[in-house]
């Protein structure tokens, strides 16, 4: 299967965006999961709902909201541009941000499930051995919840490969910068007779996802060993 230069670019960009979005979202998602699962504060419930927001509104609306916030005239995007010269709209970074926002609820959910797996008895044991909150988290909770984190990352990566509405609205469809595979696929389906191209690109997407899953499977096996479940 021959890929045109532009298609290659879309493949590279998709990988880039999907990976960056995972990198961007993972740590906040873990923290959010902790806050939501372990925190006891008023408004916890509202925060939980808010986290799910990108899931419940159409992606286009998310992109639109991002534009309001991170655009040059937005309350975050403005200062970001004025003070640091960072622009997100129309850039690969912006595409990654939009993708990260979209997959955020997916990671948080997976991480929370992973967190629920952690036996509180082991954390209690760590406490009696003198491990404080952060120490205990890093040395016991985090390693034990890592299957959930991995699952979240994989789901986010796969979803990132397919993210479309938010990206095209927020970052537009600029070949080489923000035209990821789904945007190219979408473009193809929008023209009469573009089905063949679309199908081929979808095949590439799937291949990437398979590669990601394979990797995750390998990591998961290793992790199982590391977690002593081997």
Partner 1 sequence: MLEVALRHRYGRDGFALEAAFGVAEAGVTALFGPSGCGKSTILAAVAGLLRPDSGRVVLDGTVLLDTARGIALPPERRRCGVVFQDARLFPHLSVAGNLRYGQKRAPPGATGPGFEEVVALLGLAALLDRRPARLSGGERQRVALGRALLARPRLLLMDEPLAALDAGRRAEVLPFLARLRDAAGLPILYVTHALEEVDALADRLVLLQDGRVLAEGGVEALTARTDLPLAARRDAGTLLSCQVGGTDPGGLTRLDFAGGTLLSTARPEPVGTRLRLRIRARDVAVATEEPHGLSTRNILAAEITAISPGSGPQEVFLQLAIGPSKLLARVTQDSVSRLGLAPGKQVWALLKAVTFDHLGAAR
Partner 2 sequence: AQQPATVFAAASLTDAMRALGQEWASRGHPAPRLSFAASSALARQIEQGAGADLFLSADEPWMDYLQSRELIVNNSRISPIGNALVLVAPTTPTRAPVALGRGTDLLALAAGGRIATGDPAHVPVGRYAEAALRWMGQWEAIAPRLARADNVRSALLLVERGEAPLGIVYATDAAASRGVAVLGTFPAGSHAPITYPFAITRRAAGNAEALALHAFLAGPDAVPVFERFGFRLAR
Binding positions for partner 1, 130-159, rule CB under 8 A:
130-132, 135-136, 139-140, 143-144
Query: What six digits make up the tokens of 170?
Result: 């927020």
Residue 69 or 219 with smaller CB distance to partner 2:
69
Cα 115 to Cα 3: distance, rounded to the nearest angstrom: 42
The entry of partner 2, its own copies, partner 1, none that residue 99 binds, CB within 5 to 8 Å by partner kind? none
Report whether 223 contacts 147 (CB < 8 A).
yes
Choosing from 37, 92, 180, 187, the residue that interacts with partner 2 (CB under 8 A) is: 187
Q: Under the criterion CB under 8 A, does residue 116 sit at the interface with its own copies?
A: yes
Q: What are phi and psi of 77, to 5 degrees?
A: -60, -35
Question: Around Cβ 217, how many Cβ atoms within 10 Å?
Answer: 12
* Binding residue count for partner 1, defined by CB under 8 A: 23
Eight-class DSSP state of 24? H
* Binding residue count for partner 2, defined by CB under 8 A: 30
Shortest distance in whole angstroms from residue 168 CB to partner 2: 5
Choosing from 25, 54, 77, 212, the residue that interacts with partner 2 (CB under 8 A) is: 77
Closest among 41, 46, 162 to 98, alpha carbons compared: 162
Cα 173 to Cα 153: distance, rounded to the nearest angstrom: 25
Choosing from 115, 168, 181, 216, the residue that interacts with partner 2 (CB under 8 A) is: 168
Choosing from 30, 93, 114, 172, the residue that interacts with its own copies (CB under 8 A) is: 114
Choosing from 35, 53, 86, 142, the residue that interacts with its own copies (CB under 8 A) is: 53
Q: Under the criterion CB under 8 A, does residue 191 sit at the interface with its own copies?
A: no
Eight-class DSSP state of 141? I
Report whether 103 contacts 155 (CB < 8 A).
yes
Shortest distance in whole angstroms from residue 184 CB to partner 2: 9
């Amino acid at each position: 299967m021959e890929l045109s230069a532009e298609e290659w670019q879309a493949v590279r960009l998709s990988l880039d965006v999907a990976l960056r979005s995972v990198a961007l979202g993972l740590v906040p998602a873990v923290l959010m999961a902790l806050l939501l699962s372990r925190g006891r504060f008023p408004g916890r419930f509202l925060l939980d709902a808010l986290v799910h927001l990108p899931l419940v509104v159409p992606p286009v609306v998310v992109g639109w909201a991002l534009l309001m916030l991170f655009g040059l005239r937005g309350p975050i995007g403005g200062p970001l541009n004025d003070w640091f010269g960072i622009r997100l709209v129309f850039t690969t970074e912006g595409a990654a941000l939009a993708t990260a926002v979209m997959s955020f609820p997916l990671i948080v959910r997976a991480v929370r499930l992973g967190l629920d797996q952690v036996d509180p008895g082991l954390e209690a044991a760590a406490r009696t051995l003198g491990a404080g909150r952060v120490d205990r988290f890093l040395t016991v909770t985090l390693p034990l919840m890592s299957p959930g984190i991995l699952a979240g990352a994989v789901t986010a990566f796969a979803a990132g490969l397919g993210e479309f509405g938010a990206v095209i609205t927020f970052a537009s469809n600029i070949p080489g910068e923000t035209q990821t595979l789904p945007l190219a696929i979408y473009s193809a389906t929008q023209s009469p007779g573009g089905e063949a191209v679309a199908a081929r690109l979808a095949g590439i997407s799937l291949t990437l996802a398979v590669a990601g899953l394979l990797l995750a499977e390998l990591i998961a096996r290793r992790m199982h060993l590391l977690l002593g479940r081997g």
